[in-house]
Amino acid sequence: MATASAAAQQPTYAPDVDLVGSVEGGVPTNLEQMAEVVGTDNGHPAFGLAMAAALGLEREYPDRLPVSKQLNWLGLQTRAQMANACTNEILVVGFGKTARMLARNFDVLKDPDVRQILRENSIGFMPETPTAPVFEFHSPTDPLISVGTLNQTMARYCRAGTRVYQLATPAPEHLSAAGVGFLPAFQWLQDRFDGKPAPTTCR
């Protein structure tokens, strides 16, 4: 998400930066959809990442998105453990947990202002478009992200003239896709630094 957001805003926010390309893997382009997915009883190995995203948004919008007020004792304990943690720690702390285990209720998701915040911070709804080439990879059956919104976003980039290369990895879900896509992504980046023309899957 951070890479995708920075790449999209770079042309207007930092036009002096010589950006040769960006690699974006399994980007949750629709946070509303992601919030609904983790709001079920079904666990996901990457649940910690979704919770960390929610806590990050709460820090940015403490009055508009009071996530912590919705947490039970286990949720508050989990929040404290991952408040300043790195990715691997976040995944470990969140493993085996679900939003329903940690929340007292889900009323916050019904708040129109909260839904607006989620949309404002979703890559799929950002009006900006990257101009540097993009390598995007994901699992076509990823249950954590909205693959449809992701593909629509990449199609919009293509229509704007961005050279996008999409890779649907032969992986069943979110985390395994990262491992499968790492080497192709690394090679793609190396080729950009070497000045080779960026391939595209745009139609």
Q: Which tokens belong to 191? A: 């080729």
SS3 96: coil
Residue written as tokens 């926010």? 13
The pLDDT tens digits of the residues spanning 55-76 come to: 999 999 999 888 898 899 999 9
What's the DSSP call for residue 95? T
The pLDDT tens digits of the residues spanning 90-124 come to: 989 998 888 888 988 777 777 888 889 999 999 99
Contact (Cβ atoms closer than 8 angstroms) between residue 24 and residue 154: no
The pLDDT tens digits of the residues spanning 72-81 come to: 999 999 999 9
Give me the percent of the chain exceeding a pLDDT of 70.
98
Domains with residue ranges and CATH for the chain: 2-29+123-193 (3.40.50.1820), 31-120 (1.10.260.130)
Contact (Cβ atoms closer than 8 angstroms) between residue 111 and residue 17: no
Q: Which residues contact 123 (CB under 8 A, 6 or more apart)?
A: 1, 4, 5, 8, 27, 28, 29, 153
pTM metric for this prediction: 0.84
Contact (Cβ atoms closer than 8 angstroms) between residue 105 and residue 123: no
The pLDDT tens digits of the residues spanning 140-186 come to: 988 778 889 999 999 999 999 999 999 999 888 877 888 899 999 99
* pLDDT at 42 exceeding the cut of 70: no
Q: Which residues contact 15 (CB under 8 A, 6 or more apart)?
A: none
SS3 193: helix
